[in-house]
Amino acid sequence: MGEKLNGQTDVTLDEKGRISLPVSLRKILGDAELIIKPSYYEKEKSLWLFPKNVYQAMLDDYDKNTDILSEKDRIFRRRFFNYKDVEIDKAGRIAIPQEYREFANLAKDCLVLGVGDYIEIWDKETYRKHYSESNETFVSASEEISIKVKKSKTGNQE
């Protein structure tokens, strides 16, 4: 997968717990095997959809850089390995497991967000609240990144 997943699309969760992935994202994903998992971040009640090879590379990197005896790593590992395989059906839909729909509070109206190497799936109202509550943090982080980029372009590495 060379091209990045991006964009934001409103989708509807059907009565069988399925959403249609946007055509633009399906084209990039192609016939990739996919996994779905809850977000690592407790405050972000969203689901993450990864191409399996991308997620496997993350797991491999994690395995190389962790201490299996560390309590922090054991907790993180439980979150890291909490995923399920999903498939895109002929109609371009994925079925979202019930426990994951409950975690993310998915109702009828949802959002699909392409975020580079993966896709986030949000309940539309939950996302709206999260976005408005985190806007100040986003602006602050954007300013910080902008300063770092400017410094790196000028060679100023303070």
Tens of pLDDT, residues 97-115: 999 999 999 999 999 999 9
Evaluate if residue 141 carries a pLDDT over 60: no
Tell me the per-residue pLDDT of 4-58, one tens digit each, with 9 for 90 and over.
999 999 999 999 999 999 999 999 999 899 999 999 777 789 999 999 989 888 8
Query: Is the backbone of residue 92 left (phi > 0), alpha (psi -120 to 50) or beta?
Result: left
Report residue 86 as tokens. Answer: 């999903």
> What does the pLDDT read at residue 57?
87
pLDDT at residue 138 above 60? Answer: no
Instruction: Walk me through the domains of the chain, giving residue ranges and CATH numbers.
Output: 5-123 (3.40.1550.20)
pTM of the model: 0.78
Predicted local confidence at residue 59, as pLDDT: 78
